Chain A
Amino acid sequence: MAKQTYAGPLEQVSPYCWRIPKSYKPGMRVDGLIYADERLIAQIRHDQAPEQVANVAFLPGIQYASLAMPDIHWGYGFCIGGVCATDPAEGGVISPGGVGYDINCGVRLMRTNLFFPEVQPVLRELMDTLFARVPAGVGRGGKYKFQRQEIRRLLAEGVPYLLGRQLATAADIEHTEAGGHLAGADPDCVSDRALERGLDQCGTLGSGNHFLEVQVVDAIFDPVAAEVMGLQEGQVCVMIHSGSRGLGYQVCDDALKQFRGVPARYGIALPDRQLACAPIDSPEGRSYLGAMCAAANFAWCNRQLLMTLARESFETVFGRSREELRLSLVYDVAHNIAKLEQHALGGRPRRLWVHRKGATRAFPPRHPEVPSMYQAIGQPVLIPGDMGRASWVLVGRQGSMEQTFGTACHGAGRMMSRTAAVQHAQGRRIDRELAARGVIARAHSWRGLAEEQPDAYKDVNLVVDVVHQANLAAKVARMRPIGVVKG
């Protein structure tokens, strides 16, 4: 199956937005809207991602539009970078494919009070320590082993469970989306198989595009917001990207198996089986939501434990405590999740299930779900780029509530397939190339680095420009990587 170019309609409706009209395919209930500029839309046409945006518009109860962010790329069923909101009161559905296998895959940023000149002389030692402490790569279990009963509590309670075990602080919880806990979590909806896959994986990074990066604040674009977040130019931070590991993958897989006959049973016609869905208010829908929320809680705990391992590594290398080093969580955001949120549509507030598949919540200032210390600036939005160029910190803007159900992009977006990236890396040493750019990379495999090389990704700066210009989120700081741990 060759990669085909999208040949359907894409009408420009604003400098940063393109429409696939619902007349494109019979069965589309709403338009598709893709946020991109002219350069990015040219890349986006190169595969079937726009077709997937159109397919999502078939879902019952979908509101306003099937949306895609500028980092959109071809996924399975849903595109990566997609957003879809459904209304339970209008027969709206929940779709496990709209969340993805890696439920609550997300990013967190921890700051330190160290500046680059102090870290540079010991960077190699720091990266070696992080690489030794943070379990990464295929098939590697973690330091933290939980008994079945403990995992069940962790699934039900999220990060607050770790507070009781001195593995999280109240400040960590305050700086995590949803306080690191979704209330609808029901461990009884999580299969034994999923529990089995999760028992020794909480506190492990995994592989693929997951990473732990040591970064330096490279440039500040909004000094006021940066100050509120405690970020200054030259300051060293740690960014962690991981999700719900095998537990989440199994929850999604279990649901898709359970949903096999469900669309037909409820009379739902779909153009792709990976879009399988069930009415939110159905036994199948409720069971998936209970399990999905539990897996989301697991993922927040996973990133919390990864941060704990990073804190320990900094303490070892710098010989100072985490309090002295001010190893504080700036924020943690999910980018694969479905959440019940209030949005104004047609002049009245509605409770909608917002699916974000490779897309980040970006709530504006004064939104009730933004934590108190960020009320004035808006919710921090963390956008990892690639390991050679940059990552970004933004804040949510009012435009996101008006256009994208409070959502912005989640990363650079892949441009090259894994196979193409490996070919592109033949005869090269990506680790040495990164070292020449001032980035120390520690990875378990050559192929892992080859597949994740900077060239495999779109330029994150272009993606961030679009969300900034479209007023979905505003630039606060650009981060430059200096050390990377990969699976």
Chain B
Amino acid sequence: MFELFGHTADLGVRVTGASREELFAEAARGLATLLVANLETVRPVETRTLRIAGEQDDYLLLDWLQELLYLFETEHWLCRESQIRFAPGEMTAECRGEPLDEQRHCLGYEVKAITYHQLAVRQVRDLWKAEFIVDI
């Protein structure tokens, strides 16, 4: 689950998940809904595997989202859904999506970057929560 919140010139995404894996997948979905206004039209027909190295949850989250942003900017590839696995020192994401098709996909924001400002990942009892602010 995720929701957007306002931050003057930029936008924030607040994410909740039952596990860290779900949290990271939901965060990606939150970012994708900023990039494309009708995410439901993005078909999960191609698979891409991304590996992100890192120890710290918040940096891993930022690097993972930044990687998706890079894929979108350079290859116009959109991620509809993802499955995350964590291993010591790295995470792996199986991403499913397709390249941008402007006939079907309605573009949303130009996200410049994921910022470090108020970036947080934490476990609260049996829920995982994260917040990040994107620069528009």
Contacts and interface: CB of A to CB of B under 8 A. Distances in A.
Interface in B80-127: 100, 107-110, 112-113, 115-119
A74 B110 contact: no
Contacts of B11: 417-419
Given A1-B12, A47-B8, A417-B6, A206 B116 contact: no
Contacts of B118: 1, 76
B4 A76 contact: no
Nearest to B14: A1
A346 to B, nearest CB: 34
A468 interface: no
Interface stretch (A248-256, A311-319, A388-396): A248-256
B5 A138 contact: no
B110 A208 contact: yes
A487 B109 CA distance: 9
A209 interface: yes
B59 A260 contact: yes
A130 B4 CA distance: 33
A220 B120 CA distance: 50
B135 A76 contact: yes
B117 A76 contact: yes
Contact of B119 (A253, A257, A273): A273
For B12, B107, B133, which residue has the most chain A Cβ atoms within 10 angstroms? B107
B107 A73 contact: no
A241 B66 CA distance: 25
Nearest to B100: A139
Interface in A28-54: 47
Among A80, A138, A196: residue with most chain B CB under 10 A: A138
Interface size, B (range): 35 or more
A139 B76 contact: yes
A273 B8 contact: no
B107 A419 contact: no
Nearest to B106: A445
A143 interface: no
A274 B131 contact: no
B35 interface: yes
Nearest to A80: B9
Given A75-B8, A139-B100, A444 B119 contact: no
For A100, A249, A447, which residue has the most chain B Cβ atoms within 10 angstroms?
A249
Nearest to B63: A257
B128 interface: no
Nearest to B75: A196
Interface in B49-73: 59, 63, 66, 70, 72-73
A4 B9 CA distance: 16
Nearest to A260: B59
A420 B66 contact: no
A64 interface: no
A137 B107 contact: yes
B18 interface: no
Interface of B: 4-12, 14, 35, 37, 59, 63, 66, 70, 72-74, 76, 100, 107-110, 112-113, 115-119, 131, 133, 135-136
23 contacts: A47-B8, A76-B10, A76-B116, A76-B118, A76-B135, A101-B112, A102-B112, A137-B110, A138-B108, A138-B110, A193-B70, A197-B70, A208-B110, A256-B116, A260-B59, A272-B116, A272-B117, A274-B115, A274-B116, A274-B117, A276-B116, A417-B7, A418-B136
Interface of A: 1, 3, 47, 73-77, 80, 100-102, 137-139, 193, 196-197, 206-209, 246, 249-250, 252-253, 256-257, 260, 272-274, 276, 414, 417-420, 444-445, 447, 487
Given A73-B8, A274-B116, 11 more contacts: A75-B117, A101-B113, A101-B115, A138-B110, A139-B73, A193-B74, A206-B110, A209-B9, A249-B135, A414-B8, A444-B107
8 smallest CB-CB distances across A and B, nearest first, come from A417-B6, A76-B117, A419-B6, A207-B110, A76-B115, A274-B117, A273-B116, A138-B107
